[in-house]
Amino acid sequence: MKIVFDSTCLEYSKGHVEGPYRSESAFEQLKESGLHFIKPKPAAEKDVLLVHTKDHFERVKFGKYWEEETPVIDIKYPLLSAGAAINAAEIGGFSICRPPGHHAGRHFLGGFCYFNSIAIAVAKTGKKTAILDIDIHHGNGTQDIFLGSKDVLYLSIHESPQYPGTGLVSEKNCFNFPLPSGTKEDTYLKYLQKCIQEISKFKPEMLAVSIGFDTYCQDSIGNFLLKEESYKKIGEAISKLNTPKFFALEGGYSEEVGKLALALITGVEG
């Protein structure tokens, strides 16, 4: 699997937990393991407008917003991260760029997310796609964008109660599996199997994975108890789906992001 990364995404830091160490940890660890890297091209405005309103694009462009966890940054960073997801979709790769995206909806941002990178990448392919969101947070932005769509199936396993407080029930094409704090690997993998069954029934042309490593037992935000080897098992389960796939990094707030990403890739590639 090729890794999509540009060190430009390490340039900005806003002093909160979503810092450059996350992508840097992934880069260092994956480089060491000999994986091949490619540099992304930034997304164009027209790509962003596939899933976001023009007003939203311009608010990000001109910094006309205030959100406590999602401070104003140069638009080049979310554009590059969205472009990295697009590139990952094209080559069946794994984007480790930041900022993350799954909390950004058609007309809103939040939770460190500005543009919804995975949604933009999925919309740009125009393919029938299942989006498996295995970050510890519900991808309220992704659900907002695709709720009711015939071409996209959205599935999320997330902690509840937890930010942003959505995803408590399944609606239309969006399947939500809220699980309590303290959830361990065996329970987690059972719900992952349910997701895999639903994806198989949907028969997608592509699988997009919003991967968050904030389900790790030592994460500073999440309260699940997954271990390093759990990610290999998650990768193995996903690899059973016989469809082209790509991955985009969402959360994960420990120094171990790189190690966990490598375990996941090892599982996917067998």
Chain residues that interact with Zn ion, rule: CB under 5 A: 135, 137, 212, 214, 251
Q: Which is nearer to Zn ion, 133 or 185 (CB)?
A: 133
In terms of C-beta distances under 8 Å and separation of at least 24 residues, what long-range contacts does 152-160 make, across chains too?
A: 152/122, 152/128, 153/129, 153/198, 153/199, 153/202, 153/204, 154/130, 155/130, 155/131, 155/195, 155/198, 155/199, 157/133, 157/188, 157/191, 157/192, 157/195, 158/133, 159/183, 159/215, 159/222, 159/223, 159/224
Nearest to residue 50, comparing CAs of 115, 132, 143? Answer: 115
The active-site residue out of 102, 103, 137, 158 is: 103
Q: Nearest approach, Cβ of 248 to Zn ion (angstroms)? A: 12
Choose between 93 and 212: whose C-beta lies nearer to Zn ion.
Answer: 212
Of 96, 110, 174, the closest CA to residue 141 belongs to 110
What distance lies between CA 206 and its chain's CA centroid?
Answer: 15
Least Å distance between CB 75 and Zn ion?
22
Give the Cβ contact number of residue 243 at 10 Å.
17
Give, as one character, the DSSP assignment of residue 10: G
Q: Provide the minimum distance between the beta carbon of 86 and Zn ion in the complex, in angstroms, as a whole number.
A: 21
Please, which residue, 35 or 96, has the CB nearer to Zn ion? 96
When CB distances to Zn ion are compared, the closest residue is 251
Residue that has been written with the tokens 């596939």 in this structure: 50
- At closest approach, how far in Å is the CB of 36 from Zn ion? 27
Q: Which C-beta is closer to Zn ion: that of 98 or that of 137?
A: 137
Closest distance between Zn ion and the C-beta of residue 182, in Å? 17
The verdict on whether 103 is a catalytic residue reads yes
Nearer to Zn ion, 35 or 113 (CB): 113
Task: Assess contact for 1 and 232: CB atoms under 8 A.
Answer: no
191: region left, alpha or beta (phi > 0 left; psi from -120 to 50 alpha): alpha
Question: Read out DSSP for 134-146?
Answer: -SSS--HHHHHHH
Specify the amino acid at residue 197. Answer: Q
Query: Which residue in the block uniquely carries the two structure tokens 């699940």?
Result: 224
Q: Which residues are catalytic?
A: 103
